[in-house]
Amino acid sequence: MAPETEVAVLFADVVGSTELYEALGDIKARDTIAHCLEAMKTATEQHGGRVIKTIGDEVMSTFPTADDALNAAREMQLAITRGTLAGDAAGVNLAIRVGCDFGPVVPDERDVFGSTVHTANRMTSQAKASQIVTTSDMVDNLSAEWRASVRQIDLAHVKGKAGEIALYEVLWQKDDITSMLPTISWGDEKKKASVRMRLRYQGEEVLVDADHPQATIGRSEDNDLMIKGNLISRLHCRVELNRDRFLLVDQSTNGTFVITRQGEELFVRRDSIQLAGEGIIGLGRVVQSGSAQAIHFIQED
The pLDDT assigned to 160 comes to 66
The pLDDT assigned to 190 comes to 46
Which among 151, 16, 158, 22 is positioned nearest to 95, based on CA atoms? Answer: 16
The CA distance from 126 to 138, in Å, is 15
Asked whether residue 158 falls in the same domain as residue 240, the answer is no
Asked which of 187, 207, 224 is the last residue of a domain, the reply is 187
Asked whether residue 20 falls in the same domain as residue 64, the answer is yes
Averaged pLDDT, 168-178: 73
Q: DSSP state, 73? A: H
Most distant pair of Cα atoms in the chain: their distance: 57
The pLDDT assigned to 189 comes to 42
Asked which of 152, 168, 187 is the last residue of a domain, the reply is 187
pLDDT digits (tens, 9 = 90+) for 13-63: 998 777 788 888 888 888 889 999 999 999 999 999 999 999 889 999 999
Asked whether residue 78 falls in the same domain as residue 216, the answer is no
Averaged pLDDT, 251-276: 91
Which residue did the predictor score with more confidence, 299 or 4?
299
Give the number of other CB atoms < 10 A from CB of residue 273: 15
Asked whether residue 71 falls in the same domain as residue 139, the answer is yes
- Report residue 40 CA to chain centroid gap: 17
Domain that holds residue 101: 5-187
Asked whether residue 14 falls in the same domain as residue 55, the answer is yes
- Of 65-69, 78-82, 144-148, least confident by mean pLDDT is 78-82
Q: Is the pLDDT of residue 236 over 80?
A: yes
Asked whether residue 23 falls in the same domain as residue 103, the answer is yes
Asked whether residue 178 falls in the same domain as residue 253, the answer is no
Asked whether residue 10 falls in the same domain as residue 127, the answer is yes
Asked whether residue 149 falls in the same domain as residue 220, the answer is no
Asked whether residue 181 falls in the same domain as residue 279, the answer is no
Asked whether residue 152 falls in the same domain as residue 214, the answer is no
Q: Classify 197 as helix, strand or coil.
A: strand
Asked which of 187, 217, 246 is the last residue of a domain, the reply is 187
Angle at CA of residue 95, ends 94 and 97, nearest 5°: 160
Q: How many structural domains compose the chain?
A: 2
| CATH code of the domain covering residue 278 | 2.60.200.20
Which residue did the predictor score with more confidence, 188 or 5?
5
- Give whichever of 61-75, 85-99, 252-266 has the largest mean pLDDT: 61-75
Averaged pLDDT, 102-111: 90
Asked whether residue 140 falls in the same domain as residue 59, the answer is yes
Across the chain, what does the average pLDDT equal?
86
CA distances (Å), 84 to each of 78, 79, 173, 231, 260, in order?
Answer: 10, 7, 17, 35, 41
The pLDDT assigned to 165 comes to 83
The CA distance from 186 to 196, in Å, is 21
Q: pLDDT tier at 162 (50, 70, 90 boundaries)?
A: low
| CATH code of the domain covering residue 146 | 3.30.70.1230
